[in-house]
């Protein structure tokens, strides 16, 4: 655990000025980054490494407007209330020009609510909840990562191509799980009106009773299964399901199941044949995608996770927005994000003016075993722009401004 | 029929690890009266240590050896914790030890992260037990069968140990009468250490045994904790057969719940717990706690007196300093101070119950979060003006507390505490699950104060006046006949009842009053943050308040406030550092050991020793 | 002499076991009446029925002619019955005078007041009561540090707070040294004489009983076997049989303390 930079980056108690992460001049442009570094260490660490890599590159190339960018990393313990407090501190005391971060949707939503009230720009980097840009969207909040809806729509498209008629869903019993199931259903029924959902399982997050869930799904005898569980729940589900033959002769669609964060812990037990969204870094050899992988591996001696590339693209997005704004004023940054386009390791993305969602896509492929490890094969990058509802629908979803 | 049998077997297999962890907790509580919050941490350690050993030890012997060794290793760690952390504080007020175990949780979390890294570890398969057997055509994993066989053996082994050996007889005697065991010339300290180690070892064994069904991850400590508490309470604190039966009931019901009521996964076990406690207030096999369990351990509380002129001046100066904060401090200082003030009010409201009433509520977040949600829901659904929504927060929370108190006050002691926890969990589940109405875990956003209040400084003054006002009011009530009656009911229910005091009504109103003040804090909270999420109703929030009340000093009037300010302040500083949980955990343990009377209690004693204040009467 | 307390056919059975069987007696104003009997005779059960802690299986209890059978302890206290406990029950976290003030607050139905300062209420009256039992010098002491005999006297002061017409005392001298016993019973006798209070007490110590009681009732195996003056009881062959013939001599000190 070499995280000295993190220690360095954090501030002392009272009025101690933050030590700059990158040892550059004082007039750095400060960005407040709030995350659950402890509560979600497995996800936050690669994310942070992606940020640091991008910062080195951006600042090495002269920064933005001739000034380096500096991130102030703060741990919010995974608590929305804490995150709001820290956001205030970052903006009013530490001199941050905008906020970014969070993985957990509720923390992201809390910050977005504050951002709207106090007029802070917030780029929600990783949280997936649709409501961040739709039902609870506001003028000051933007989101980078492809949302629950977009990724579910990609899998629904794949599901529509199969012969499966009856589906079972299993998703953690909280907002993300419910959104993911609703979006999958909506999109699948559009493409395949005769599809039927024969079982809906809702295990408590990280408390799955996998044996019982598998029995319950088996009892419904679906043609195909849509999985939204992740982390330890996924591992348990895969093991019980494989043992009990649940996946035999059934197509499974797994949201996020192909992301290295979730796939790698499964090792040789990775469920072959699942169609999943994820990040096949191992097959990215050339182009911007390959360059990022190579640079990341060289810098950290470790391979990138999905969080890594999200962190990397977060910095890219912010740098591009600042460049476009030509100023660190809130209104300028906010205006710059509208229709902001940039090139990323995943290809070009645009922050849509209509709902502040970026068009970052996702890789969709099939899980196979390679050298005793799960990988995605036959994958394809799907541009997020094609998996969003129509503009009219989006307008109806967002509160009037 | 085949499916039914298969489901039954799944439930029974699941009961295995749960029973082992729960029986350990039950034993520890039965003998030492320690509510070991860190029990989940020992379970997690068992999983991690077992995992590591399995990587090293080869084959089937290695696998089973690793499980056994993991249990032993965790038992040894438990022994160390008991000797270093708990032994110094056995004489502290009852339940104070749970603060120390809370510190242990934080320390273990960071140590596990340091040693094993952040990634989830998938448990190795049991050699020779891969795959399934078919029973009536239904596939049953072979390892499930192994668990089915192993668990009763462990249970029988424990039963033999407890009923047939000398050690066991001592343990049972201690469960019923600790003083007597001491009088028999048995070294009580080592008996406690041994039992604590055994209990932790069982948790570790459970953690290692479940590896082939899952693995090891950094969240598993908290994730099992509630289930284990529920099992122990349903079974009856201290009862091994009870723990076994309850583990089976919960596991089997859960399997059927998953199949026939898939949405029930969050609430099922709490509903079962409430039902069981309503019918059998001390669990299936539990015994009524000896009367006078609370407020009787350690030295008795001291008489209280309204603050003298000196203290009043001091408090006045403090309030004046707070009032001038906006003139000297930054914008953020006000935000931080608002947070701390709100938390202090929350803590003070719990302290009122705990300190004066001896009523240990493990679910106080229900009223804090409840108040916050009352305001937020009113604003969201019926566009209530902010001022009205705010005023209804304490009222709504008070009503909730009145209803919950009415039910819970049928019980006493730890069972009362557990029932309050169950109700808080039920409320949390309701808010979490009922997304259409409450926003679920996506919360309710955009709950900001009215325009005239929306400035940071204005809101700070608003929070200052109400928090300090609330705290002073709580203190004032402590000196009123009502506060005295609450203490009277705690000190001697017999005498209070015999002199015409309706102790049940006194407690119920105290519960509602404390809930109201927590709701006030919740209302202040939601408008300072602009949003509310189910986190504010969670167990973790209840524990926060509990910890600071004990840290501050449960037997002093200002313990809640001092503890709250200390905890929040330290947290704000420490979370800026890398391994803040480790530091925080060690700090809590340190405070617990050097200040077993809490911060205020210990300072008071120190002041008396050095002649700075008048010594209490000839107590020594 | 007017009847303060009367029971008619008071009976209590637990399961199949009859603990108190058909007990009827009267207690008159200003009377100091002792209820004695060997261990397990049913004294405590009887007491608990009078105080409302137990509901009789059959029979009734009358206080000043009113039927109070099955009323709650609080209700019975409100009607002017005070009690002291075999094992003292006081508020350990309060001062001596606050213990008495608490009873006075309850008596004045001020328990649910949240605004006045409790320690300022009924101080003079509380001090009078403490003076009555000789505790005025210790008024401001912490109750938890009192000697046992002082706790007993404090309890008596608490029991007198609402000017009871009847005082029920359960083993008032249990656990006390002989000199303290005599002092406490003398104090009780004085109160009976001066204030016209009636007292019913149970007692192990026969010396105490014979020295102070105006009248004695003997309970054996749940039945009242004798009721009369000290002299009558002393010479009653049935009582002698219960205490002497049964092999149980009048209780020794140690046993009394165990109880």
Q: Which pLDDT band holds residue B298 (cuts at 50, 70, 90)?
A: low
d(CA C74, CA B186): 44
Judged by CB atoms within 8 Å, which residues 498-537 of B form the interface with C?
Answer: 498-502, 506, 509
**Sequence-separated (6 or more) residues with CB below 8 Å from residue B278:** B407, B410
Q: Which pLDDT band holds residue A26 (cuts at 50, 70, 90)?
A: low
> Under a CB-based contact definition with an 8 Å cutoff, are residues C224 and C46 in contact?
no
d(CA B554, CA B560): 7
Q: What pLDDT is recorded for position B75?
A: 97
Judged by CB atoms within 8 Å, which residues 225-264 of A form the interface with B?
Answer: 231-232, 235-236, 239-240, 243-245, 264
Residue in the structure block whose two tokens are 């979600």: A40
**Sequence-separated (6 or more) residues with CB below 8 Å from residue B384:** B378, B392
C54 and B CB contact within 8 Å:
no
**A211 with B573: Cβ contact below 8 A:** no
Q: What pLDDT is recorded for position B415?
A: 84
Q: What pLDDT is recorded for position B251?
A: 93
> Under a CB-based contact definition with an 8 Å cutoff, are residues B405 and B511 in contact?
yes
Q: What pLDDT is recorded for position C248?
A: 45
Residue range A267-285: average pLDDT?
Answer: 95
* Residue A364, SS3 per DSSP: strand
d(CA C184, CA C152): 8
Structural domains of chain C, count:
2
**How far from chain centre, in Å, is Cα C147?**
20
d(CA C134, CA B517): 43
Same domain, C138 and C172: no
Q: b/e map of B246-274 (b: 16 or more CB within 10 Å)?
A: bbbbbbbbbbbbbbeebebbbbbbbbbbb
Indicate the fold that domain B310-609 takes in CATH.
Answer: ABC transporter involved in vitamin B12 uptake, BtuC (1.10.3470)
Question: What's the DSSP call for residue C142?
Answer: B
| Two structure tokens written together for C240 | 């002698």
Q: Alpha helix locations (H) across A41-174?
A: 41-60, 80-92, 105-118, 148-161
Around B290, how many Cα atoms within 13 Å sit in the side-chain half-sphere? 11
Same domain, C158 and C182: no
| Domain assignment of residue C102, yes or no | yes
List of chain C residues with pLDDT < 50: 246-259
Helix (H) or strand (E) holding B121: strand B121-122
Q: What pLDDT is recorded for position A378?
A: 96
B618 and C CB contact within 8 Å:
yes
Same domain, C158 and C170: no
| Two structure tokens written together for B147 | 């668990």
Residue B244, CA distances (Å) to A238, B167, B236, B469 in order: 28, 21, 10, 49
Q: pLDDT by residue (tens digit) across A324-374?
A: 999 999 999 999 999 999 999 999 999 999 999 999 999 999 999 999 999
d(CA B378, CA B365): 19
Question: Which of C147, C163, C179 is the last residue before a domain boundary?
Answer: C163
| Two structure tokens written together for A135 | 């039902």
| Domain assignment of residue C41, yes or no | yes
Examine the pLDDT at B292 and tell me if it is beyond 80.
no
Q: pLDDT by residue (tens digit) across B561-576?
A: 999 999 999 998 998 8
Same domain, C49 and C168: yes
| Domain assignment of residue C85, yes or no | no
Judged by CB atoms within 8 Å, which residues 448-487 of B form the interface with C?
Answer: 476-477, 479-485, 487
| Domain assignment of residue C17, yes or no | yes
| Domain assignment of residue C72, yes or no | yes
Q: What pLDDT is recorded for position B198?
A: 95
Neighbouring chains of B at 3+ CB pairs within 8 Å?
Answer: A, C
Question: What's the DSSP call for residue B411?
Answer: S
Q: What percent of chain B has pLDDT over 70?
A: 95
CA of B596 vs chain C CAs: smallest distance (Å) = 19
Backbone angles phi, psi at B224, to 5 degrees: -95, -20
Q: Among residues C164, C155, C173, C152, which one has the least CA distance to residue C195?
A: C164
User: What residue spans in chain B does CATH classification 1.10.3470 cover?
Assistant: 310-609
Q: pLDDT by residue (tens digit) across B506-524?
A: 999 999 999 999 999 999 9
Q: What pLDDT is recorded for position B278?
A: 84
Residue range B433-452: average pLDDT?
Answer: 90
**B263 with A173: Cβ contact below 8 A:** yes
Q: Following DSSP, what letter does each residue of B555-587 receive, concatenated?
A: TSTTHHHHHHHHHHHHHHHHTTSTTHHHHHHHH
Same domain, C22 and C139: no
Question: Which of C128, C163, C198 is the last residue before a domain boundary?
Answer: C163
Of B477, B498, B509, the CB nearest to C77: B498
Residue C168, CA distances (Å) to B10, B287, B501, C148, C220 in order: 61, 31, 18, 19, 20
CA angle B308, B314, B320 (to 5 degrees): 135
B-chain CB neighbours of C112 within 8 Å are 481-482, 485, 506, 509
Which structural domain range is residue C152 located in? 90-163
B-chain CB neighbours of C142 within 8 Å are 302-303, 616-617, 619
A-chain CB neighbours of B262 within 8 Å are 199-202, 216
d(CA C102, CA B588): 38
* Residue B406, SS3 per DSSP: helix
CA of A38 vs chain B CAs: smallest distance (Å) = 8
> Under a CB-based contact definition with an 8 Å cutoff, are residues A165 and A115 in contact?
no
Q: What pLDDT is recorded for position A261?
A: 93
Count of beta carbons in the 10 Å neighbourhood of residue B204: 34
Same domain, C71 and C188: yes
Q: Which residue of A has its CA nearest to B330?
A: A93
Q: pLDDT by residue (tens digit) across B171-218?
A: 777 777 766 667 777 777 888 899 999 999 999 999 999 999 989 999
Q: pLDDT by residue (tens digit) across C230-245?
A: 888 888 888 888 776 5
A141 and B CB contact within 8 Å:
no
| Two structure tokens written together for B598 | 């809490």
Q: pLDDT by residue (tens digit) across B258-279?
A: 988 887 877 888 889 888 988 8
Q: What pLDDT is recorded for position A13?
A: 33
B87 and C CB contact within 8 Å:
no
Around B598, how many Cα atoms within 13 Å sit in the side-chain half-sphere? 30
- Dihedral of the CA atoms A383, A389, A394, A396 (nearest 10)? 180
Count of beta carbons in the 10 Å neighbourhood of residue A62: 10
Q: Which of B284-288, B290-294, B425-429, C35-39 has the lowest mean pLDDT?
A: B290-294
Mean per-residue pLDDT over chain A, rounded: 91
Kindly list the structural domains of chain A, giving each domain's residue range(s) and its CATH number in brackets, ordered by start. 4-147+285-350 (3.40.50.2300), 149-279+362-397 (3.40.50.2300)
d(CA B439, CA B435): 4
Q: What pLDDT is recorded for position B116?
A: 95
Judged by CB atoms within 8 Å, which residues 406-445 of B form the interface with A?
Answer: 432-433, 435, 440-443, 445
d(CA B97, CA B28): 12
**Sequence-separated (6 or more) residues with CB below 8 Å from residue C241:** none
d(CA A150, CA A386): 8
Same domain, C169 and C159: no
Q: What pLDDT is recorded for position B614?
A: 59
Same domain, C152 and C170: no
d(CA A364, CA A280): 9
Examine the pLDDT at B237 and tell me if it is beyond 90.
no
CA of C84 vs chain B CAs: smallest distance (Å) = 9
Same domain, C50 and C153: no
Report the DSSP pairing between strands C215-220 and C223-228: antiparallel
Report the DSSP pairing between strands C32-36 and C198-202: parallel
Where is mean pLDDT largest: A290-304, B229-243, C45-59, C213-227? A290-304
Residue range B27-51: average pLDDT?
Answer: 92
Q: Do chain A and chain B touch with ≥3 beta carbon pairs under 8 Å?
A: yes
| Domain assignment of residue C100, yes or no | yes
Q: Among residues B256, B250, B286, which one has the least CA distance to residue B270?
A: B250
Neighbouring chains of C at 3+ CB pairs within 8 Å?
Answer: B
Same domain, C195 and C250: yes
Question: Which of C144, C163, C182 is the last residue before a domain boundary?
Answer: C163
Q: What pLDDT is recorded for position B111?
A: 96
* Residue B553, SS3 per DSSP: coil
C-chain CB neighbours of B507 within 8 Å are none
C-chain CB neighbours of B481 within 8 Å are 105, 110-114, 116, 118, 121
C97 and B CB contact within 8 Å:
no
ipTM: 0.89
Q: Following DSSP, what letter does each residue of A151-194 receive, concatenated?
A: HHHHHHHHHHHS---EEEEE--SSHHHHHHHHHHHHHHHHH-TT
d(CA B335, CA B269): 39
Q: b/e map of A228-240 (b: 16 or more CB within 10 Å)?
A: bbbbbbbbbbbbb
Helix (H) or strand (E) holding A69: strand A69-75
Q: pLDDT by residue (tens digit) across B120-141?
A: 899 999 988 888 888 888 889 9
- Dihedral of the CA atoms B296, B297, B303, B309 (nearest 10)? -150
Mean per-residue pLDDT over chain B, rounded: 89
Residue in the structure block whose two tokens are 């009780």: C188
Q: Which pLDDT band holds residue B91 (cuts at 50, 70, 90)?
A: confident
Examine the pLDDT at A59 and tell me if it is beyond 90.
yes
> Under a CB-based contact definition with an 8 Å cutoff, are residues B394 and B520 in contact?
yes
Burial class (CB in 10 A: 0-12, 13-18, 19+), C60: middle
Q: What pLDDT is recorded for position C245?
A: 56
């Amino acid at each position: 655990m070499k995280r000295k930079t993190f220690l360095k980056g954090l501030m002392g108690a009272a009025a101690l000025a933050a030590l700059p992460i990158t040892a550059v001049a004082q007039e750095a442009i400060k960005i407040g980054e709030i995350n659950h570094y402890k509560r979600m260490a497995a996800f936050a660490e690669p994310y942070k490494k992606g940020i640091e890599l991008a910062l080195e590159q951006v600042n090495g190339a002269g920064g933005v407007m001739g000034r380096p960018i500096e991130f102030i990393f703060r741990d919010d313990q995974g608590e929305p209330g804490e995150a709001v407090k820290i956001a205030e501190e970052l903006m009013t005391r530490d001199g941050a020009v905008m906020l970014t971060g969070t993985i957990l949707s509720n923390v992201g939503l809390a910050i977005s609510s504050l951002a709207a009230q106090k007029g802070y720009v917030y780029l929600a980097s990783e949280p997936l909840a649709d409501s961040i840009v739709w039902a609870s969207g506001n003028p000051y909040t933007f989101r980078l990562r492809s949302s629950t809806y977009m990724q579910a729509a990609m899998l629904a498209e794949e599901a529509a191509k199969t012969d499966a008629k009856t589906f079972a869903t299993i998703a953690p019993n909280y907002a993300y799980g419910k959104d993911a199931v609703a979006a999958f259903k909506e999109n699948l029924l559009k493409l395949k009106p005769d599809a039927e959902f024969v079982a809906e399982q809702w295990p408590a997050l990280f408390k799955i009773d996998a044996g019982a869930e598998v029995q319950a799904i088996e009892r419904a005898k679906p043609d195909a299964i849509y999985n939204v569980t992740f982390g330890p729940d996924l591992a348990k589900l895969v093991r019980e399901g494989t043992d009990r033959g649940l996946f035999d002769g059934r197509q499974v669609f797994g949201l996020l199941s192909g992301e290295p964060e979730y796939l790698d812990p499964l090792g040789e037990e990775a469920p072959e044949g699942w169609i999943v969204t994820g990040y096949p870094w191992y097959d990215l050899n050339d182009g911007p995608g390959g360059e990022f992988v190579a640079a990341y591996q060289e810098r950290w001696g470790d391979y990138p996770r999905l969080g890594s590339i999200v962190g990397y693209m977060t910095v890219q997005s912010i740098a591009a927005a600042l460049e476009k704004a030509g100023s660190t004023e809130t209104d300028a940054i906010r205006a710059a994000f509208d229709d902001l386009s940039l090139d990323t390791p995943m290809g070009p993305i645009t922050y849509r003016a209509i709902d502040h969602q970026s068009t970052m896509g996702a890789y969709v492929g099939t899980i196979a075993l390679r050298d005793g490890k799960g990988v995605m094969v036959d994958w394809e990058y799907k541009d997020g722009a094609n998996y969003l509802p129509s503009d009219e629908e989006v307008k109806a979803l967002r509160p009037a401004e | 029929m085949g499916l039914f049998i298969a489901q039954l077997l799944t439930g029974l297999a699941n009961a295995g690890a749960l029973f082992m962890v729960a029986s350990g907790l039950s034993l520890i509580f039965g003998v030492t009266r320690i509510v070991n919050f860190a029990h989940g941490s020992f379970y997690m350690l068992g999983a991690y240590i077992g995992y590591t050993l399995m990587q090293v030890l080869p084959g089937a012997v290695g696998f089973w050896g690793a499980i056994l060794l993991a249990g032993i290793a965790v038992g040894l760690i438990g022994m160390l914790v008991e000797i270093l952390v708990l032994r110094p504080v056995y004489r502290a007020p009852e339940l104070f030890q749970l603060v120390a175990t809370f510190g242990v949780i934080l320390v273990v979390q960071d140590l596990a992260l340091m040693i094993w890294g952040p990634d989830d570890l998938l448990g190795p398969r049991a050699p020779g037990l891969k795959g399934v057997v078919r029973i009536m055509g239904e596939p049953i994993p072979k390892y499930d069968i192994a668990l089915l066989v192993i668990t009763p053996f462990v249970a029988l082994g424990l039963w033999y140990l407890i009923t047939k050996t000398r050690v066991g007889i001592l343990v049972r005697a201690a469960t019923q009468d600790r003083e007597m065991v001491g009088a028999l010339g048995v070294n009580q300290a080592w008996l406690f250490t041994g039992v604590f180690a055994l209990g932790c070892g069982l948790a570790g064994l459970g953690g290692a045994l479940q590896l082939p069904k899952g693995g090891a991850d950094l969240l598993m400590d908290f994730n099992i904790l509630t289930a284990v508490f529920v099992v122990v309470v349903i079974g009856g604190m201290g009862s091994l057969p009870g723990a076994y039966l309850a583990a089976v009931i919960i596991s089997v019901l859960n399997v059927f719940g998953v199949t026939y009521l898939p949405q029930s996964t969050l609430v099922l076990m709490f509903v079962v717990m409430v039902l069981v406690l309503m019918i059998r207030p001390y669990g299936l096999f539990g015994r009524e706690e000896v009367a006078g369990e609370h407020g009787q351990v350690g030295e008795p509380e001291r008489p209280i007196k309204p603050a003298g002129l000196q203290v009043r001046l001091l408090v006045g100066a403090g309030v004046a300093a707070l009032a001038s904060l906006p003139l000297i401090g930054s914008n953020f200082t006000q935000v931080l101070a608002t947070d701390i003030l709100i938390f202090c009010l929350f803590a003070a409201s719990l302290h009122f119950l705990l300190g004066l009433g001896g009523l240990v509520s493990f679910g106080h977040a229900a009223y804090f979060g409840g108040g916050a949600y009352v305001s937020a829901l009113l604003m969201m659904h019926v566009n209530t003006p902010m001022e009205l929504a705010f005023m209804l927060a304490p009222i709504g929370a008070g009503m909730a507390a009145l209803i919950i108190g009415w039910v819970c006050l049928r019980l006493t002691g730890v069972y009362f505490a557990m029932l309050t926890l169950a109700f808080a969990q039920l409320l949390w589940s309701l808010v979490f699950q009922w997304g259409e109405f409450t926003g679920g875990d996506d919360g309710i956003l955009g709950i900001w104060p009215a325009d005239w209040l929306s400035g940071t400084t204005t809101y700070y003054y608003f929070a200052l006046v109400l928090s300090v006002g609330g705290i002073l009011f709580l203190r004032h009530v402590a000196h009123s006949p009502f506060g005295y009656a609450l203490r009277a009911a705690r000190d001697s229910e017999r005498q209070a009842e015999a002199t015409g005091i309706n102790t049940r009504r006194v407690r119920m109103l105290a519960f509602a009053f404390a809930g109201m003040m927590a709701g006030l804090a919740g209302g202040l909270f939601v408008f300072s943050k602009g949003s509310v999420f189910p986190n504010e109703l969670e167990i973790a929030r209840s524990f926060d308040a509990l910890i600071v009340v004990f840290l501050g000093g449960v037997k002093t009037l200002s313990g809640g406030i001092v503890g709250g300010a200390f905890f929040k302040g330290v947290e704000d500083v420490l979370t800026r550092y890398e391994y803040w949980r480790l530091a925080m955990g060690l700090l809590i343990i340190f405070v617990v050991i050097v200040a077993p009377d809490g911060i205020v209690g210990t300072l008071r004693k120190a002041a008396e020793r050095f002649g700075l204040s008048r010594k209490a009467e000839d107590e020594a | 002499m007017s009847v303060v307390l009367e029971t008619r056919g008071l009976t209590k059975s637990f399961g199949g076991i009859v603990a108190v069987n058909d007990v009827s007696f009267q207690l008159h104003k200003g009377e100091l009446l002792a209820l004695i009997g060997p261990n397990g005779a049913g004294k405590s059960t009887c007491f608990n029925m009078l105080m409302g802690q137990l509901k009789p299986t059959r029979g009734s209890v009358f206080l000043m002619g009113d039927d109070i059978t099955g009323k709650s302890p609080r209700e019975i206290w409100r009607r002017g019955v005070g009690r002291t406990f075999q094992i003292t029950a006081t508020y350990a976290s309060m001062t001596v005078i606050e213990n008495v003030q608490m009873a006075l607050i309850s008596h004045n139905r001020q328990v649910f007041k949240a605004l006045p300062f409790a320690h300022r209420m009924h101080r003079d009256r509380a001090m009078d009561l403490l003076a009555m039992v000789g505790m005025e010098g210790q008024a401001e002491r912490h109750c938890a540090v009192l000697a046992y005999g002082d706790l007993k006297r404090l309890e008596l002061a608490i029991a007198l707070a609402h000017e009871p017409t009847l005082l029920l005392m359960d083993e008032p001298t249990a656990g006390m040294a002989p000199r303290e016993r005599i002092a406490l019973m003398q104090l009780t006798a004085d109160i009976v004489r001066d204030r016209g209070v009636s007292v019913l007490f149970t007692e192990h110590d026969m010396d105490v009983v014979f020295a102070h009681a105006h009248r004695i009732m003997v309970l054996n195996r749940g039945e009242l076997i004798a009721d009369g003056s000290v002299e009558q009881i002393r010479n009653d062959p049935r009582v002698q049989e219960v205490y002497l013939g049964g092999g149980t001599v009048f209780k020794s000190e140690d046993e009394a303390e165990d109880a």
